[in-house]
Amino acid sequence: MLRRRWTGGVLTVFQRSGNVRHVFDPITLDQLRAFVTIVEQGSFSAAARKLQRAQSAISKSMANLEEQLGVLLLDRSTKKAAKLSDAGSVVLAAARRVLLEMDQLKRTSAGMIHGIEPSVSLCVDALFPPPVLVELCVGFARAMPTVDLKLDTQFMSAVSARVMTGDATLGIVASGGVVPSLAKTPLTTIQMLPVVGAGHPFSKLEGQIPLVQLARDVQIVLSERHETGVPDRGVLSPRTWRVADLSTKHAMLRANLGWGNLPEHLAREDLRAGRLAAIHPESWSMEDGNVTLYAVHRNETTFGPAHRWLVDSLIALCAREGGVAPPRSRSRKVRD
């Protein structure tokens, strides 16, 4: 009598002669696909039609799979529909994962044959307009379905740091955070607007607000997360609350906790609805609030079709986006 033992996906067969024979796991993708199709179609006959195979072949695949796993996957007490056993429910989820991974492997391999990268890593400055980023990702998913997009959001110098270390192959960063050794392509200019909440005393003031008056109130500043980053600019008050993300700054300004600058695309709806009010600091001009965003990468990086698609699409989307100003030829100051 033969004795069998499973170890790490390998079947060990102990023969009568005393010899030991190792057989690799005989479970096949066809068996898993037949099992999943039976469950999804509701019966053996429907699965056979779906897979264009004989029903007897489907039944044999299932019998072999159950024997190899050592558990009953389907309750055959009724002929009306294939009913999962408790063990079958667990195996079904695992089988679907295996098939999904295999399908992804096939798509990735097919893309690599044509020179398409298996993955793309993109790090985006928090100042970049979210609607444009979302549209970029939607288009990428359609154009490059086999490529894994790894997306990260940082601020200023942290974006360049990700690119320098190779954690991101492509970055979108404000001009103040660009490392000189990185290759850069101008994308767009973001307009930063000085604003306060509708209930803040500054919202009732007309004309320019003197610097001495601004200095007496709290200024909410979007700041680097570490001391070695880009220094704060446009800070006019000694009373500062520093935050590391735009959403927190936005919420604080709406709560009338101070004054500060927000990207025009982020403040737009609140200004229209009266939840925020624009203010005019003394000596402030629209030119002072311009922040240019660049696509950056390391000079030695060789882009494949997926990376080139991202850069080309970024340029096209930024040029088309009505709420984002086109890049200017002159450099601009980076404000808080």
CATH number of the domain enclosing 283: 3.40.190.290
At 196, list the tokens.
Answer: 């306060």
pLDDT, residue 198, reads: 95
10-residue mean pLDDT profile of the chain (336 residues): values are 48 51 65 86 85 86 84 73 80 84 64 67 92 93 88 89 92 88 90 93 91 90 65 72 90 95 93 95 76 91 86 90 46 37
**Residues ≥6 apart with Cβ < 8 Å to 78:** none
Identify whether residues 195 and 107 lie together within a single domain.
no
Which residue do the tokens 């980053």 mark? Answer: 229
The rounded distance, in Å, linking the Cα atoms of 107 and 102 is 9
The rounded distance, in Å, linking the Cα atoms of 127 and 156 is 9
Identify whether residues 145 and 28 lie together within a single domain.
no
Identify whether residues 46 and 192 lie together within a single domain.
no
Domain extent, residue 321, equals 116-336
Identify whether residues 78 and 140 lie together within a single domain.
no
Contacts within 8 Å (CB) and 24+ apart, 34-37: 34/58, 34/61, 34/62, 34/65, 35/61, 35/62, 35/65, 35/73, 35/91, 35/92, 35/95, 36/92, 36/95, 36/96, 36/99
Number of domains comprising the chain? 2
Amino acid at 332: R
Identify whether residues 333 and 186 lie together within a single domain.
yes
The rounded distance, in Å, linking the Cα atoms of 261 and 236 is 12
Identify whether residues 80 and 208 lie together within a single domain.
no
Domain closes at, from 113, 132, 150: 113
Identify whether residues 143 and 168 lie together within a single domain.
yes
Q: For residue 186, what are the CA distances in angstroms to 131, 162, 171, 296, 311?
A: 19, 19, 12, 9, 11
Identify whether residues 90 and 120 lie together within a single domain.
no
Angle, CA 7 vertex, CA 5 and CA 12 arms, to 5°:
40
pLDDT, residue 329, reads: 38
Identify whether residues 94 and 134 lie together within a single domain.
no
pLDDT, residue 16, reads: 53
| φ, ψ dihedrals at 251, nearest 5° | -65, -40
Q: For residue 178, what are the CA distances in angstroms to 30, 172, 186, 217?
A: 52, 9, 11, 31
The rounded distance, in Å, linking the Cα atoms of 51 and 99 is 15
pLDDT, residue 79, reads: 58
Identify whether residues 171 and 266 lie together within a single domain.
yes
Q: For residue 14, what are the CA distances in angstroms to 9, 69, 71?
A: 16, 19, 22
Reference 95, options 122, 117, 74, 121; nearest CA is 74
Whether 323 and 265 have beta carbons less than 8 Å apart is answered as: yes
pLDDT, residue 268, reads: 93
Domain closes at, from 78, 113, 148: 113
pLDDT, residue 170, reads: 94
At 58, list the tokens.
Answer: 């489907």
Identify whether residues 130 and 97 lie together within a single domain.
no
At 167, list the tokens.
Answer: 């954690």
CATH code of the domain in which 23 resides:
1.10.10.10
pLDDT, residue 43, reads: 83
**Residues ≥6 apart with Cβ < 8 Å to 192:** 261, 262, 263, 264, 289, 290, 291, 335
Domain closes at, from 48, 82, 113: 113
Identify whether residues 128 and 96 lie together within a single domain.
no
| φ, ψ dihedrals at 125, nearest 5° | -65, 140
* Per-residue b or e along 43-70, where b marks 16 or more CB atoms closer than 10 Å to that residue's CB: bbebbbeebeeeeeebbebbebbbeebe
